[in-house]
Amino acid sequence: MLTLESFEQASEIVKQVTQETKLIKSSYFSELTGNKVYLKPENMQRTGAYKVRGAYYKISTLSDEERNKGLITASAGNHAQGVAYAAHKYGVKAVIVMPTTTPLIKVERTKSYGAEVILHGDVYDEACAHALELAEKEGYTFIHPFDDPAVATGQGTIAMEIVQELPLVDYILVPIGGGGLATGVSTLAKLLNPHIKVIGVEPAGAACMKASLKKGEVVTLPHVNTIADGTAVQTPGKKIFPYIQKNLDDIITIEDDELIVAFLDMVENHKMIVENSGLLTVAALRHLDVKGKKIVSILSGGNMDVITMSSVVQHGLIQRDRIFTVSVLIPDKPGELVRVASVIARAQGNVIKLDHNQFVSTNRNAAVELKITLEAFGTDHKNEIVKALEDAGCRPKVIRPSL
């Protein structure tokens, strides 16, 4: 079903609901990797993610009778918004089953398009099972978020746009949850130019596609654990799996800590908010052992709630030694706190928080503990501050920050 003709048709249809997401040349990542890196910012779509493409195209292929029964799907958020938005455009009912762990912003935005939202299960797979039960019971038409050739065809329109804009692209990096996006992008890319390498990127804590390709058949992970909620899938799509086997060149897995660093990279260098699943392809740039290639990283979405964003920023600053905590032991006498503060000031450290504990020792004259949380420019600057404290006789010890 995934033919060049169907992709061409889908490309025209999805233009009715998508915004143009032109490639962005990244000087930062190009210099970092020694390649020509471009970003495909699907986080800038109206619904905040690429998912509206597959949802809208799939719904366009349904009969009026199928649409008028009402639509139902399961999603961790982005497909939910895509179906809700597409259903709104067609004027039909949409019921969305979402995991209870879905970020609030995705739940609220899905509701804002007029959809009925039901929270069920801890992961996508549990939500999907409940949605299928409701579809059978109520007669709704089920729109699968990834295991549907029509949905995958809609998602693959991204590859059409990439190749039209960058005909000589060498590598396309695509996030993988259930595999719909990777199926569409890899299949169309190979149809247009078999020499294009398409690399899938999965979170290490939910690498169901990598496990399935290794075994040669679809497998279900016993559990998933990742901050990339949009790709936290236990079982990849069975219908689309043969396309992945045929067209995907490789899979890279990414640890959650790498996504935290990638978030800071995107905010500081491109002033863009990209959700953790969308950051998979950004983190994967550091894993590609190539030079001088034209590489496109698909940023699949940008729907991240503020609380998650705050946590990611804090952890990212800590990982990069931009924030650190040091414990020093000083005599309990007037002027010692000022002395330590002066040492830090001369080293250009910025104090964020102080915790002065007089009871660390029974002999207060011998030592009291001072925990100082500091802002630094990075690892080198952090080491300079610690060295300055050592030279001042403060016996510094770097400890885990507590913000």
Q: Yes or no: say if 72 and 140 are a contact pair by the CB < 8 Å rule.
A: yes
* Burial degree of 247 (CB within 10 A; 0-12, 13-18, 19+): buried
- For the question of residue 300 being annotated catalytic, the response is yes
Distance CA 385, CA 347 (A): 6
Distance CA 43, CA 51 (A): 10
Q: Yes or no: say if 163 and 189 are a contact pair by the CB < 8 Å rule.
A: yes
- Among candidate residues 277, 300, 371, 382, the one labeled active-site is 300
* Burial degree of 79 (CB within 10 A; 0-12, 13-18, 19+): buried
* Burial degree of 378 (CB within 10 A; 0-12, 13-18, 19+): exposed
- Among candidate residues 40, 51, 190, 239, the one labeled active-site is 51
Distance of CA 192 to the CA centre of its chain: 27
Sign of the dihedral defined by the CA atoms of residues 76, 79, 83, 86, in that order: positive
Q: Yes or no: say if 84 and 94 are a contact pair by the CB < 8 Å rule.
A: yes
- Tell me the residue type at 354: L
C-alpha distances (whole Å) from 210 to each of 139, 176, 183 are 35, 10, 14
* Burial degree of 208 (CB within 10 A; 0-12, 13-18, 19+): buried
- For the question of residue 51 being annotated catalytic, the response is yes
The residue behind tokens 């399961």 is 74
Q: Yes or no: say if 183 and 244 are a contact pair by the CB < 8 Å rule.
A: yes
The residue behind tokens 């292929």 is 61
Helix (H) or strand (E) holding 184: helix 180-192
Contacts by residues 89-93 (CB-CB < 8 Å, ≥ 24 positions apart): 89/16, 89/17, 89/56, 90/59, 92/67, 92/68
- Annotated catalytic residues are 51, 300
